[in-house]
């Protein structure tokens, strides 16, 4: 994380629903609006992983990554010197800006709907590409704050029938923890039962859905002011 007078926020949206009904996008918008009211727009960067998809990694990406690992890992600024062909040059040109965005952000905000019990492919493609060997040296992200706004159509908390089906939150916690983000700087906010107002069979859970969304909004607002 950089130490600047002007805080910086990187927002990542991964919901395929751009109609305005996406709960995860509504939550990231709330956080962003409050953050910009407090800090201004200068440090804000938004990457829509659906409108601007991150290409899946390729054999050239893997070849370059193995070469970097063979050198004992090198800083991102020196990777370009190890590129051997146009395909690797293209892969690194796609990767370095993403790495730089994360490295220079004070806060990384992610909007993540649950798709088939896990994260969207759009986010997974970003994760696969940004996690280049040596991109984030040990300790470099320890002070970076990561805020994850989750949206789930059902309920997956303790005591629910589908608790064991949640491969969304545990995956993201493991990923960012392994990346070096300190546990106290990783904030996961959940809005559950988001399909209750759309599916007749879930109508009885609408009060639960409303309460969950209200709590998520309140927590996010608190994270901005905190």
Q: Which residues are annotated as a binding site?
A: 15, 22-24, 114-117
Binding residues for FMN: 15, 22-24, 114-117
Q: Which residues lie below 8 Å from residue 189, measured CB to CB, with a gap of 6+?
A: 27, 147, 148, 149, 150, 216, 219, 220, 223
Distances (CA, A) of 104 to 14, 43, 138, 139, 143: 21, 10, 15, 14, 11
Which ranges constitute the DSSP H helices of the chain? 23-39, 59-70, 76-79, 86-103, 121-130, 169-179, 206-225
Q: Please list the residues that pair with 68 across neighbouring strands.
A: none
């Amino acid at each position: 994380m950089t130490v600047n007078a002007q805080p910086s926020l990187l927002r990542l949206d991964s919901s395929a629903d751009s109609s305005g009904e996406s709960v995860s996008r509504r939550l990231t918008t709330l956080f962003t609006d409050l953050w910009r009211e407090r800090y201004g727009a200068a440090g804000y960067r938004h990457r829509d992983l659906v409108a601007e998809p991150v290409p899946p990694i390729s054999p050239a990406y893997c070849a370059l990554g193995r070469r970097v690992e063979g050198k004992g890992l090198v800083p991102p600024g020196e990777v370009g010197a190890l590129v051997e062909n146009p395909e690797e040059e293209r892969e690194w040109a796609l990767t370095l800006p993403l790495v730089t965005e994360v490295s220079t952000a004070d806060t990384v905000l992610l909007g993540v709907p649950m798709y088939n019990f896990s994260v969207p492919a759009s986010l997974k493609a970003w994760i696969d590409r940004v996690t280049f060997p040596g991109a984030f040296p040990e300790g470099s992200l320890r002070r970076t704050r990561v805020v994850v706004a989750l949206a789930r159509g059902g309920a997956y908390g303790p005591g629910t029938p589908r608790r064991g089906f949640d491969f969304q939150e545990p995956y993201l916690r493991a990923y960012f923890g392994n990346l070096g983000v300190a546990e106290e700087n990783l904030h996961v906010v959940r809005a559950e039962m988001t399909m209750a107002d759309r599916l007749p069979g879930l109508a009885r859970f609408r009060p639960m859905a409303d309460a969950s969304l209200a709590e998520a909004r309140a927590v996010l607002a608190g994270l901005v002011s905190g």
